[in-house]
């Protein structure tokens, strides 16, 4: 499909969008906790992909490219403009249907505290736990030294832990 | 303790679905861009065609070029107005005067 | 006396010419920095000739063609300078200063919309003088800048009527409301 999209087949490109939109949207929506901004940025990521298809070598490269582009756009946007998280607690950001079970409330609390972290730390947490990437993979995708990734992750986790414990979110 | 936070984060940040019309919206923008790029390549292709066809077809070529340029200009203007329209909906814009006021000047 | 009449006559001619024509040559230097550049300059005769060629061969439907023809019938001239750059920062706001200054100075042109977001800006101007109506757009985006002048377009509504066809989203710009 990537080859066909690169050759100009717009249906193939549409397929690529469909295949990877969840990943890109998840990164942006957990970063901003604002669906409108998340959707806009996710769209920009794919438009940028369309402009740069020729440089994408294979599927692995595509995934890394999408993650890097999405995270860079999130960080850029967060620096340029203030925004407010619109989404009420738990309502939209979790795949299970809304209920008031302790798990869903805890997830919502985590997402809220995550959104309060500095942008560079937030991105690390989303890639590590949302995308399941190891620090080495994050470092490669974002073209950062692996020690930088590890130290940001460490600080982010420390900040999240103390905030969540303060709010009595069950961590075990 | 670590496993608890790790597990909680993994579950809290599980993939979530994009809006149902996400792909459609992206493809609208992609098609707009294809129109823009097509104009550029058409200009190049038309130039090559001119060299091959020779001067006898020049007048017809110029008129065809004018046609493509006309369509390009109108579509570009429409695209930029559409972008402005979307931006106005999202953020405050400075609007200088009503069109009706303009008519009265 | 004769000399004074000649001077006034020349001034009147130059005013009416400058009221119509905006000099876009200050943008030509952007072509060397751009990865793609489009330049359109059509007078009334060329627009009429182009209209006669419109056959719908590259348009999706007859509806597109009819809408386009209706708009183009009023056009007395078209000017476009459009540049796309490899990366942001390859042009600056000062590159557009000359055009903006001309539009601000000309009595018949008025800015009706100035919209900014995330470092991008679009300005829409209209000329309402009978016989010199027109629409001018300056669209400055991160890696793309376009200036479009459509002479003879009487209102934004005419452009808005193109919405929904040619793959473009329907536009609701038309009579504008004063910002609160």
Structural domain boundaries in chain C = 39-160
Q: Do C119 and A81 touch (CB under 8 A)?
A: no
Q: What average pLDDT does this structure show over C65-75?
A: 75
Question: C125-159 pLDDT, tens per residue?
Answer: 998 888 788 999 999 998 899 999 999 887 766 66
Q: What average pLDDT does this structure show over C63-79?
A: 77
Contacts of range C54-60, beta carbons closer than 8 Å, 24 or more positions apart: C54/B67, C54/B70, C54/B71, C58/B68, C58/B71, C59/B71, C59/C166, C60/C165, C60/C166, C60/C167
Residues 6+ apart with CB under 8 A from A48: A69
| Sheet arrangement for strand C120-127 | C36-43, C77-84, C144-151, C134-140, C120-127, C109-117
Stronger pLDDT, A58 or A94, i.e. the higher one: A58
Q: Using CA atoms, how far apart are residues A26 and A8, in angstroms rounded to an integer?
A: 27
Checking ipTM against 0.85, whether it exceeds it is no
Q: Do B18 and A95 touch (CB under 8 A)?
A: no
Which of C118, C120, C143, C144 is the best mutation test for A, with the most CBs of A within 10 A?
A: C118
Q: Where are the alpha helices (DSSP H) in chain A?
A: 2-6, 10-32, 35-51, 59-80, 102-115, 119-125, 135-142, 146-166
Q: Helix, strand, or coil here: B94? A: strand
Q: Using CA atoms, how far apart are residues B61 and B68, in angstroms rounded to an integer?
A: 11
Where exactly are the structural domains of chain A? 2-166
Where exactly are the structural domains of chain B? 22-93
Q: Which residues 71-110 of C have a C-beta within 8 angstroms of B?
A: 71-72, 75, 78, 80, 82, 84, 110
C57: tokens are: 């061969």
The reported pLDDT for the residue numbered C175 is 40
Mean pLDDT over each residue of chain B, to the nearest integer: 74
Q: Using CA atoms, how far apart are residues C50 and B65, in angstroms rounded to an integer?
A: 8
Residues of A engaging C, defined by a Cβ cutoff of 8 Å: 77, 80-81
Phi/psi of residue B8, nearest 5 degrees: -65, -45
Stronger pLDDT, A75 or B32, i.e. the higher one: A75
pLDDT surpasses 70 at C4: no
Residues of A in contact with B11 (CB under 8 A): 103, 107
Sequence length of chain B is: 105
Q: Do C119 and A77 touch (CB under 8 A)?
A: no
Question: A73-132 pLDDT, tens per residue?
Answer: 998 888 775 555 444 333 344 433 344 456 777 788 888 889 888 888 999 999 999 999
Q: How many CB atoms lie within 10 A of CB B74?
A: 23
Phi/psi of residue C122, nearest 5 degrees: -130, 135
CA distance A7 to chain C (A): 20
CATH topology of domain A2-166: Arc Repressor Mutant, subunit A (1.10.10)
Residue of C nearest to A52 (CA): C86
């Amino acid at each position: 499909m990537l080859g066909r999209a690169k050759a100009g087949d717009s249906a193939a490109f549409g397929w690529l969008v469909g295949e990877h939109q969840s990943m890109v949207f998840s990164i942006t929506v957990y970063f901003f906790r604002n669906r409108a901004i998340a959707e806009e940025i996710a769209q920009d990521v794919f438009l940028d992909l369309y402009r740069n298809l020729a440089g994408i070598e294979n599927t692995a490269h595509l995934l890394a490219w999408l993650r890097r582009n999405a995270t860079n756009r999130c960080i850029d946007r967060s620096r340029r403009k203030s925004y407010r998280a619109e989404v009420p607690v738990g309502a939209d950001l979790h795949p299970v249907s809304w209920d008031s079970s302790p798990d869903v409330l805890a997830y919502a609390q985590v997402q809220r505290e995550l959104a309060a972290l500095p942008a560079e730390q937030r991105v690390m947490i989303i890639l590590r736990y949302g995308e399941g990437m190891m620090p080495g993979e994050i470092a490669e995708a974002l073209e950062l030294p692996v020690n930088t990734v590890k130290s940001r992750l460490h600080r982010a986790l420390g900040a999240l832990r103390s905030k969540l414990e303060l709010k009595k979110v069950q961590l075990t | 303790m670590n496993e608890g936070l790790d597990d909680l984060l993994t579950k809290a940040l599980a993939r979530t679905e994009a809006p149902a019309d996400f792909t459609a919206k992206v493809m609208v923008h992609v098609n707009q861009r294809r129109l823009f790029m097509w104009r550029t390549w058409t200009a190049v292709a038309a130039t090559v065609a001119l060299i091959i066809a020779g001067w006898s077809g020049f007048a017809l070529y110029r008129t065809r070029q004018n046609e493509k340029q006309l369509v390009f200009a109108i579509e570009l203007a429409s695209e930029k107005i559409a972008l402005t329209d979307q931006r106005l909906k999202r953020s405050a814009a400075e609007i200088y005067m009503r069109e009706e006021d303009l008519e009265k000047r | 006396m004769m000399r004074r009449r000649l001077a006034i006559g020349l001034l009147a001619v130059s005013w009416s010419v400058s009221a119509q024509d905006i000099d876009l040559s200050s943008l030509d230097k952007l072509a060397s920095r751009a990865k793609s550049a489009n330049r359109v300059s059509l007078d009334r005769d060329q627009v009429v000739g182009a209209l006669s060629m419109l056959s719908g061969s590259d348009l999706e439907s007859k509806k597109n063609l009819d809408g386009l023809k209706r708009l183009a019938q009023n056009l007395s001239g078209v000017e476009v300078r459009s540049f796309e750059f490899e990366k942001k920062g390859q042009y600056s706001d000062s590159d557009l200063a000359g055009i903006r200054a001309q539009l601000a100075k000309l009595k018949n042109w008025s800015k009706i919309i100035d919209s900014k977001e995330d470092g991008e800006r679009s300005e829409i101007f209209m000329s309402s003088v009978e016989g010199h109506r027109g629409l001018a757009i300056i669209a400055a985006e991160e890696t793309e800048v376009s200036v479009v002048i459509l002479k003879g377009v009487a209102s934004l509504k005419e452009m808005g009527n193109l919405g929904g066809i040619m793959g473009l989203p329907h536009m609701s710009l038309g009579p504008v409301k004063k910002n609160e």
